Amino acid sequence: MLSVNNLVTSYGLIKALKGVSLEAKKGAVTCILGPNGAGKTTLMFTLAGILAPDTGTVSLLDQNLTGLGAPKILRKGLALVPENRLVFPDLSVYENLLAGAFTQSRAMAAQVSDDIDKMYDRFPILKARHDQPAGNLSGGEQQMLALARALMSRPSILLMDEPSVGLSPLIVDEIFAIIKQLNEDGMSILLVEQNATKALQVADYFYLLDQGKVTFSGTPDQLKDDDIIKRAYLGGG
Amino acid sequence: MDMLQTSIDGLMIGSTYALLGLSFALVFGIMRRINLAFGACLLFGASLAIYLEPILGWGAWGLFFVTIVGVALASAYVERLCFAPHSKRHGAVTAMIASFAVWMQLDEISSQLLPQRTHAFQGIEVPNLWWGEVFVRGDQLLHFVIALVSILVLYLLLYKTRLGLLIRATADSPETAHLLGARVPWLGFIIFLLAGILGGLAAFMILSADGYVTPLFGLWSTFKGLIAMIIGGVGSLTGAVIGGLILGLVETHAGAVLGAEFRDMVTFGLVFLVLIIRPGGLMGVKIYRTDSLAQERV
């Protein structure tokens, strides 16, 4: 569904991605693991069109996304939930959701308000807080809002950059339950995580990114059998 | 009775200050920029209106119309020349200094248009009102209503329309807005145009109430706008309106109680106090605290 081929992205002279290739299948949760500085966020930003790649291609459902800007990529069906949420702090929860639907045309107003109702059903806490400024929400609630806002654009694949970062274990459980639920409802998800134990509960396929390269790829069982990964990411031997 | 009369006068004048403050708050609150050429834009619009008056012969309504269009055009010109090229985060100081240069330029153009020191500025004729003992100037009442209506229209535009949501989202977090495909390409231009229209309205009201314009009007209105914004809350639109009304009330009461020569002294004393006690202004404290970007950008 989403296929990334030999992607190279650099900041000036420093290559952050040195030829990354991967594939996210339809209806699956694909997870990218990797230490700090591995290039995970760079990869997400390149896929979402915030950074432009030097070489390589990105395609989604046979549409070429390479080098398009963020708004166009969003319109083609790829939505990113950025790390650290990045909600609009002064806008209300409701307005944040509306902002997520900016790519929808004006004629879709009825559909947009329908979608907002669906988000309120999925995330009851957002309904309870619909008129509060998003900056007043807790970290977990902001993560849910960022997720709901990304869904407002009706994406065919959802990219999530470290949804568990900075959240308490209970909230992390909740977020992962939501990810699982979304996937069961048919959403394809590409997930970046450092929390491998959590990721194992939801992901169907894994890639390990290290220093800008994919150093491992495999199913959850293969991941659990890999000694190095076991030691580095799952704790113990 | 005198207190009531003075308060009504204060509110009438304050409503025009509110518009000046709103123009500043619009630019600062959304763009995080200070436009030093703001007063010069107002002076330019007024000078153009007086210059064209004998040619057009439309009387007070002509002055009204040309002033607003002139200020809006000058404001858009300042944006294109000084602010659009420096829209990145570190461009704040460069843009402000560039606007200082354009201030001089616009002042010079205005004095070429109006070579004499003082020019008469005609107002719209409206009969005055007496409510019992209280006297209300007709034109000032009209101005008060126009100010209220334009504040209401601005509110509806920003809070009830799609464009308004785009503007506020971009102001809140430009990066996120870009990510969501919600960035307004001509945001700066639209904001400066809006600020120009509000400023033009305020300029017409103040000048027609005074009955004349001098070259000092530009600097004077920059001061009043900045003060209204600082008292009300840096970058807060509601704050700017409240700040303008407070400024009007304080000025008229100080003038009535202590005498006209103490008016500006009391005003500046108030600004001094606000800056010491609540540096973010009456409404702006919260915004200033939560918006680390504001401090980074300014």
Q: Do A89 and B182 touch (CB under 8 A)?
A: no
- Residue B285's Cα: distance from chain center in Å? 21
Rounded CA-CA distance B38/B220 in Å is 10
Asked if B183 is an interface residue toward chain A (Cβ–Cβ < 8 A), one would say yes
B10-23 pLDDT tens trace: 888 899 999 999 99
Note whether ipTM > 0.95 here: no
Q: Do A91 and B181 touch (CB under 8 A)?
A: no
Least CA distance to A85: which residue of chain B? Answer: B176
Q: Do A102 and B166 touch (CB under 8 A)?
A: yes
Q: Do B179 and A86 touch (CB under 8 A)?
A: yes
Rounded CA-CA distance A32/A208 in Å is 6
- Assess if residue A72 is contained within a domain: yes
Q: Which domain holds residue A43?
A: 2-84+155-233
Do the beta carbons of residue B191 and residue B38 sit within 8 Å?
A: no
The HSE-up count of residue A193 (CA atoms within 13 Å, CB side) is: 27
The pLDDT-based confidence of A105 (bands split at 50, 70, 90) is low
B52-64 pLDDT tens trace: 888 888 888 888 9
Asked if A107 is an interface residue toward chain B (Cβ–Cβ < 8 A), one would say no
pLDDT at A206 exceeding the cut of 70: yes
- Residue B281's Cα: distance from chain center in Å? 17
Q: Given this model, what pLDDT does residue B141 score? A: 87
Q: Which of A74, A86, A87 lies nearest to residue B181, judging by beta carbons? A: A74
Do the beta carbons of residue B25 and residue B19 sit within 8 Å?
A: no
A162-188 pLDDT tens trace: 888 888 888 888 889 989 998 998 899
Q: Which residue is it, tokens 């293969």?
A: A222
Q: Given this model, what pLDDT does residue A83 score? A: 81
The pLDDT-based confidence of B284 (bands split at 50, 70, 90) is low
Q: Which of B176, B181, B287 lies nearest to residue A86, judging by beta carbons? A: B176
Please choose, from the candidates B47, B58, B44, B50, the residue with its C-alpha nearest in 3D space to the C-alpha of residue B106: B44
Burial annotation B217-249 (CB, 10 A radius, 16+ → b, else e): bbeebbbbbbbbbbbbbbbbbbbbbbbbbbbbb
Structure tokens at B225: 């706008």
Asked if A68 is an interface residue toward chain B (Cβ–Cβ < 8 A), one would say no
Q: Do A102 and B182 touch (CB under 8 A)?
A: yes
Least CA distance to A44: which residue of chain B? Answer: B179
- What is the least distance, in Å, from the CA of B13 to any CA of chain A? 31
Q: How many domains does chain A divide into?
A: 1
- Assess if residue A148 is contained within a domain: no
- Assess if residue A204 is contained within a domain: yes
- Assess if residue A55 is contained within a domain: yes
- Assess if residue A99 is contained within a domain: no
The pLDDT-based confidence of B260 (bands split at 50, 70, 90) is confident
pLDDT at A50 exceeding the cut of 90: no
pLDDT at A106 exceeding the cut of 80: no
A58-74 pLDDT tens trace: 888 888 888 788 888 88
Instruction: Kindly list the strands in the beta sheet with A55-60, ordered across the sheet, starting from the edge strand earlier in the chain.
Output: A14-24, A2-11, A55-60, A63-64
CATH number, domain with residue A215:
3.40.50.300
Contacts of B250 (CB under 8 A, 6+ apart): B10, B266, B267, B270
Q: For the whole prediction, is pTM greater than 0.80?
A: no
